[in-house]
């Protein structure tokens, strides 16, 4: 393909991408193909002679599109969003053109220096404490995903802890102490933490233990919960060295009690021993809003923070932004410099080599797309985007409350996410000690209005109905939702945070939920009536 052929092909590809975005809401959100569909459509091997772009391009719609789930659709309300926008796509285009492994500054100075600059920009607009800026001892680095970030900082945490344990020792004595300590290391996270923490522990070769959370605390990790876990570790002669805290858990968008956690570690003299990471992959985007920015002040007591711009901040995957307060902990744990990587710039210590801040050696020019997005939308544009979807999430929760004969909110709505389950029959609500009955919406603090509001028998029924509703909706394919199990409650998660989504799309999703729930309940009651008649 020569330059003129590329020009024509690129124009054609861009036109097709624009058409795709303009019509995406008309497509079924979830792919309906069966496993192995693509192999049946493709030849047994590549062509012996090259094909024209026109021939290749036809197969995008004919063979690839049927196997795609359309994450950019405004009817995609599952998981958390993975946004893509035109500025970020342009960033990927230039990144592909400028391809360089970029493992050190010399590979392409602009790749490194732009990343440092834009991540400092982002840190400022997220209201992060100054200790996470590159101007001091900290700084940011773009990782592939929040899971990759957690593996990276857990390895750094392990090495920091082992170095502290072996301080002052040398030779065989140091090695023996290191091995003995390593065998007793344990990483912690709440039971609501993303599974990436448990996976990181597997990779790092350490134990992992999850800390229980309570509905009374809205599933947040509390200082008391951490204290109990630390006591249990001490009783088993285990040494906690790492903790994942979360701003916006995957299941319910719960926010851990950062102040209490910091206080417990301070009182236990563990603030410099246990590495605390803040996983804010999705909800961290809300920190750009003044009404949420105050949360970030607590992070000054912690070691690292991560937010995925590719979730809620209009930058396509992958753009996971990891910040550390002491970059030397990363570089001392991950830096290996063979002769072929040495150069006078790196040896001078005046440049950043991001290969020492991550697991892989090479890296792409990901800072371009962040730069393009920040400049295209501006801070106010990003704020408007996030605030719009938080407002829409509040509207959705209000609609659910209006239909409390059908639906119950499981945990307080947060960051545009609402988690719902089928409500039990009115006569089946659990009586409370004070003679009151639980309200349908679990949004209080304390045991007087915490789920379950149904008897154990009715919870089995509502779980079955909720699962039925969820499966019917996703089978139909007009909207895509995901489910979760929250303390034994089968629930449906609804989150709308795509750039193209508006209130009409969310209202349509709610109407589908209502219509499907009414149908499922009616059919269930009819079947129950038949069963009752048979037993008479």
Q: What is the secondary structure of 127-168 as a DSSP string?
A: T--GGGSTTTT-EEEEES-HHHHHHHHHHHHHHHHHHHHTTT
- Closest listed residue to residue 441, CA positions, set 394, 409, 478: 409
**How many helices (H) and strands (E) are present in the chain, helices listed first?**
17, 11
pLDDT in tens, the chain (536 residues): 999 999 999 999 999 999 999 999 999 999 999 999 999 999 999 999 999 999 999 999 999 999 999 999 999 999 999 999 999 999 999 999 998 887 776 778 889 999 999 999 999 999 999 999 999 999 999 999 999 999 999 999 999 999 999 988 899 999 999 999 999 999 999 999 999 999 999 999 999 999 999 999 999 999 999 999 999 999 999 999 999 999 999 999 999 999 999 999 999 988 889 999 999 999 999 999 999 999 999 999 999 999 999 999 999 999 999 999 999 999 889 887 665 566 665 555 667 888 888 888 888 899 999 999 999 999 999 999 999 999 999 999 999 999 999 999 999 999 999 999 999 886 555 554 444 444 444 443 333 355 556 677 788 999 999 999 999 999 999 999 999 999 999 999 999 999 999 999 999 999 999 999 999 999 988 876 655 544 44
**Using CA atoms, how far apart are residues 501 and 378, in angstroms rounded to an integer?**
20
Position 530 scores a pLDDT of 57
**Using CA atoms, how far apart are residues 319 and 317, in angstroms rounded to an integer?**
6
| Residue whose token pair is 């009955």 | 437
Which pTM was predicted?
Answer: 0.91
Question: Is the preceding omega at residue 318 within 30 degrees of 0, hence cis?
Answer: yes
Q: Which secondary structure element, helix H or strand E, spans residue 304, and what is its range?
A: strand 304-308
Position 447 scores a pLDDT of 35
Q: Which secondary structure element, helix H or strand E, spans residue 244, and what is its range?
A: strand 239-246
**Using CA atoms, how far apart are residues 467 and 449, in angstroms rounded to an integer?**
24
Question: Is the preceding omega at residue 10 within 30 degrees of 0, hence cis?
Answer: no
In the beta sheet, which residues pair with residue 429? 454
**473: Cβ–Cβ under 8 A, 6 or more apart, which residues?**
479, 481, 512, 513, 516
Position 436 scores a pLDDT of 43
**378: Cβ–Cβ under 8 A, 6 or more apart, which residues?**
none
**Using CA atoms, how far apart are residues 495 and 481, in angstroms rounded to an integer?**
8
How far apart are the two ends of the chain, measured CA to CA in Å?
78
**Using CA atoms, how far apart are residues 308 and 328, in angstroms rounded to an integer?**
23
Position 458 scores a pLDDT of 86
**Using CA atoms, how far apart are residues 477 and 486, in angstroms rounded to an integer?**
25
221 C-beta neighbours (distance < 10 Å), count: 31
């Amino acid at each position: 393909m020569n330059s003129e052929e590329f020009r024509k092909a690129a124009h054609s590809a861009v036109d097709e991408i624009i058409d795709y975005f303009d019509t995406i809401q008309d497509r079924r959100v979830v792919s309906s193909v069966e496993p192995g569909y693509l192999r049946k459509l493709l030849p047994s091997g590549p062509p012996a002679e090259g094909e024209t772009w026109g021939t290749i391009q036809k197969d995008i719609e004919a063979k690839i599109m049927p196997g795609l789930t359309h994450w950019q659709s405004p009817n995609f309300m599952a998981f958390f969003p993975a946004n893509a926008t035109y500025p970020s796509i342009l960033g990927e285009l230039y990144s592909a053109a400028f391809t360089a492994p970029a493992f050190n500054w010399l590979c392409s100075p602009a790749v490194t220096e732009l990343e440092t600059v834009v991540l400092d920009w982002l840190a400022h607009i997220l209201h992060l404490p100054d200790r996470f800026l590159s101007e001091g001892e900290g700084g940011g680095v773009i990782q592939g995903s929040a899971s990759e970030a957690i593996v990276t900082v857990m390895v750094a945490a392990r090495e920091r802890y082992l170095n502290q344990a072996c301080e002052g020792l040398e030779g065989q004595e140091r090695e023996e102490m290191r091995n003995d300590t390593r065998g007793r290391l344990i990483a912690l996270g709440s039971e609501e933490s993303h599974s990436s923490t448990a996976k990181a522990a597997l990779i790092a070769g350490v134990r992992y233990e999850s800390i229980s959370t309570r509905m009374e605390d809205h599933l947040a990790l509390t200082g008391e919960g951490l204290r109990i876990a630390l006591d249990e570790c001490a009783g088993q002669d285990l040494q906690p060295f790492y903790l994942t805290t979360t701003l916006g858990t995957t299941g319910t968008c719960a926010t851990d009690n950062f102040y209490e956690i910091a206080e417990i570690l301070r009182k236990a003299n563990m603030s410099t021993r246990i590495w605390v990471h803040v996983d804010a992959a999705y909800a961290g985007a809300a920190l750009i809003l003044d009404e949420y920015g105050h949360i970030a002040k607590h992070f000054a007591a912690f070691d690292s923070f991560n937010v995925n711009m590719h979730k809620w901040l209009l930058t396509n995957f992958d753009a996971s932004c990891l910040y550390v307060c002491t970059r030397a902990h990363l570089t001392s744990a991950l830096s290996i410099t063979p002769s072929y990587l040495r150069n006078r710039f790196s040896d001078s210590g005046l440049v950043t080599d991001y290969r020492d801040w991550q697991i892989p050696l090479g890296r792409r020019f990901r800072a371009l797309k962040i730069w393009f997005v920040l400049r295209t939308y501006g801070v106010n544009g990003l704020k408007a985007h996030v605030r719009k979807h938080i407002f829409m999430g509040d509207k959705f929760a209000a609609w659910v409350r209006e239909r409390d004969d059908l639906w119950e909110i499981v945990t307080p709505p947060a960051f545009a996410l609402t988690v719902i389950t089928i409500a039990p029959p009115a006569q089946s609500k659990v009586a409370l000690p004070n003679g009151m009955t639980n309200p349908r919406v679990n949004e209080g603090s304390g045991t007087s209005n915490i789920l379950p509001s149904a008897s154990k028998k009715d919870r089995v029924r509502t779980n079955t109905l909720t699962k039925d509703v969820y499966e019917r909706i996703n089978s139909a394919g007009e909207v895509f939702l995901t489910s979760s199990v929250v303390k034994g409650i089968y629930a449906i998660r609804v989150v709308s945070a795509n750039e193209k989504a508006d209130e009409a799309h969310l209202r349509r999703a709610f109407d589908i939920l209502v219509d499907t729930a009414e149908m499922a309940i009616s059919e269930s009651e009819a079947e129950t009536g038949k069963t009752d008649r048979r037993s008479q």
